[in-house]
Amino acid sequence: MKVCSLGSGSKGNSTLIESHDTRILIDIGFSGKETARRLHEIEVPPESIDAILITHDHRDHTSGAGIFSRRYNIPIYITASTLEQCNTLFTDNDFIKLYQPSRSFVVDGITVEPFLTLHDAVEPVVFALTDISKRFKVGIATDLGKPTAQVRLALTNVNFLILESNYDEGLLRNSHYPATVQQRIASSHGHLSNGAAAQFACELLHPGLSGILLAHISQKCNRPDLALSTMEKAMRPKGFLGFLGVATQDRPTLFLDLEKLKVQTNRNGQYSLL
Ligand SMILES: [Zn+2]
Ligand SMILES: [Zn+2]
């Protein structure tokens, strides 16, 4: 399996997953044009995308999904409540496919397991995607709020994890956000702090975990180096030798080949940074 974050943060999120000949985009929070531009940047033709999966209704995850789907005739997998909430984005769209949260489905050889989260959207989910032939499992968990038992179950034994590390607690406290916004971000229905993400990653640590990509980094209340160092300080002493990287808002990450990453990590005990 291969993974690339086309960009992540409060101004837009989209993640590309590739397995054999199947390419799936998780969320499109950029304009259709910008999404196509970023795909071209990593040499992936937009028309080669097979499906779009939507995690929740917030604009930073949905704004370009409808237009991109119509332009390239790509099915959108979405829950009924999320569809209702952002219906104007998907009017006259013939490519809607409904899924139910907590019920798995298959998209061209990839098993998709959606699990509800506490995040403050109508019906937000995290996804676990498993390549059926190779049993390689990727977890995508941004906009978490607080990890629930269900989310923990979803992400057990993932081989690669995209995890939000939204804010640094000190930077959030000293930010210009009003107290109500600060409370919303830090609540169990908001986002994970760097510390909470590191603690959660430690809980999920197992020998088959080859890497973690930190995502949804706040541009006002966090810095990539802070998020990364918090994660490193928590994970390395526990013996984690895998890949650690950060997805940023402005440009795609490398197109990571997860199985090669695993081999390299195991053989050399080394890791690299994005
Ligand atoms: Zn978001
Ligand atoms: Zn959200």
pLDDT digits (tens, 9 = 90+) for 161-188: 999 999 998 888 888 888 888 888 888 7
204 assigned to some structural domain: yes
Instruction: Round to whole Å and give the CA distance between 59 and 190.
Output: 15
How much of the chain, in percent, has pLDDT values that exceed 70? 95
Q: What confidence score (pLDDT) does residue 183 get?
A: 85
Ligand showing the shortest atom-to-Cα distance for residue 86 = 2
Determine which helix (DSSP H) or strand (DSSP E) holds 123, and give its type and residue range: none
Q: Binning pLDDT at 50, 70 and 90, where does residue 263 land?
A: low
76 lies in some domain: yes
Q: How far is the CA of 77 from the centre of ligand 1 (A)?
A: 18
Tell me the residue range of the domain where 211 lies: 2-268
The closest ligand to the CA of 190 turns out to be: 2
As a whole number, mean pLDDT of residues 13-25 equals: 96
Q: Is 273 a domain residue?
A: no
Which alpha helices (DSSP H) does 13-142 contain, by range? 32-41, 59-62, 65-72, 80-85
Rounded to an integer, the average pLDDT of 137-152 is: 92
Exposed/middle/buried for 107, CB within 10 Å: 0-12, 13-18, 19+? buried
Q: How far is the CA of 266 from the centre of ligand 1 (A)?
A: 33
Confidence of residue 134 (pLDDT cuts 50, 70, 90): confident
Domain count, the chain: 1
Tell me the ligand closest to 124's alpha carbon: 2
CA of 235 to the centre of ligand 2 (A): 26
Ligand nearest to the CA of 12: 1
CATH of the domain at 57: 3.60.15.10
What average pLDDT is seen over the chain?
A: 91
Residue 93: pLDDT band (50, 70, 90) is confident
Distance 263 CA to ligand 2 centre (A): 34
Residue 140 lies in a domain: yes
- Ligand number nearest CA of 164 is 1
Ligand at minimal distance from the CA of 82 is 2
- Which of 86, 218, 206, 85 lies closest to 142, judged by CA? 218
Which residues, at least 6 apart from 253, have a Cβ–Cβ distance to it below 8 Å?
4, 5, 213, 245, 247, 274
From ligand 2's centre to the CA of 119, what distance in Å? 7
β pairing state of 2-7 and 211-215: unpaired
**Long-range CB contacts for residues 239-242, cutoff 8 Å, separation at least 24:** 240/205, 240/209, 241/265, 241/269, 241/270, 241/271, 242/209, 242/210, 242/211, 242/212, 242/271
Q: What is the mean pLDDT of residues 84-92?
A: 84
Q: Is residue 237 part of a domain?
A: yes
Q: Is the pLDDT of residue 210 over 60?
A: yes
Confidence of residue 265 (pLDDT cuts 50, 70, 90): low
108 found inside a domain: yes
**Cα 62 to averaged position of ligand 2 atoms, centre (Å):** 10
What is the Cα–Cα distance from 74 to 167, expressed in whole angstroms? 34
> How remote is the CA of residue 243 from the centroid of ligand 2, in Å?
26
Per-residue b/e over 193-231, b at no fewer than 16 CB within 10 Å? bbebbbebbeebeeeebbbbbbbbbbeebbebebbbebb
Ligand nearest to the CA of 125: 2
**Is residue 274 a part of any domain in this protein?**
no
Q: Phi/psi zone of residue 18: left (φ > 0), alpha (ψ -120 to 50 degrees), beta?
A: beta
Alpha-carbon torsion angle 214, 156, 15, 248, nearest 10: 0
In a domain, 70, yes or no: yes
Place of tokens 């829950």: 79
